[in-house]
């Protein structure tokens, strides 16, 4: 092994060739270098995540709840379809470290509204904390439509 002037091991790599070993056109590659100073987290700076990205994270998390759907198509509410393969519409506003979240979605009917809303809030809260680092959120859920799970049968009076 070759050592440098300061007695650290040095490995020489040939610039033009494929082999290892000292050559006339080699450069030293230090195996051991001085440890880098690790700065404290508070002095490293900040990361800004745009509201639109946070809205997509929330929308994806909400769509993973089985009973949740979204409206798609149509103009001004006319011709909209109920679609359980699309993500719900989400609006996000950040106020410091707190997110104000509004989710507009549809649900299968009959489904327990309170239980489903709580499950949505739990999923969104955990995903915000894990993916974005937001630990405080006010989550408003607007159920804009219900869709029957089974086709309804028309009854006739006899």
Residue 101: predicted pLDDT: 96
- CA 50 – CA 9 distance, rounded (Å): 47
H or E segment and range at residue 117 = helix 113-127
* pLDDT tens per residue across span 69-127: 887 665 665 556 677 778 999 999 999 889 999 999 999 888 889 999 999 999 999 99
Report all structural domains of the chain as residue ranges with CATH numbers, in order of start: 2-33 (no CATH), 51-148 (3.30.70.1350)
Check if the beta carbon of residue 107 is closer than 8 Å to that of residue 146.
yes
- Torsion angle defined by CA atoms of residues 72, 91, 108 and 115, in that order, rounded to the nearest 10 degrees: 170
């Amino acid at each position: 092994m070759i050592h440098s002037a300061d007695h650290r091991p040095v490995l020489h790599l040939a610039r033009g060739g494929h082999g290892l070993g000292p050559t006339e056109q080699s450069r030293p590659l230090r195996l051991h270098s001085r440890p880098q100073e690790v700065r404290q987290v508070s002095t490293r700076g900040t990361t800004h995540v745009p509201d639109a990205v946070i809205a997509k994270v929330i929308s994806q998390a909400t769509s993973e709840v089985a009973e949740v759907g979204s409206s798609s198509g149509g103009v001004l509410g006319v011709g909209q379809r109920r679609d359980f393969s699309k993500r719900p519409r989400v609006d996000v506003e950040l106020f410091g470290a707190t997110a104000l979240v509004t989710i507009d979605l549809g649900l299968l009917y009959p489904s327990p509204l309170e239980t489903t809303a709580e499950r949505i809030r739990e999923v969104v809260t955990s995903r915000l904390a894990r993916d974005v680092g937001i630990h405080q959120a006010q989550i408003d859920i607007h159920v804009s439509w219900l869709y029957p799970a089974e086709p309804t049968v028309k009854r006739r009076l006899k």
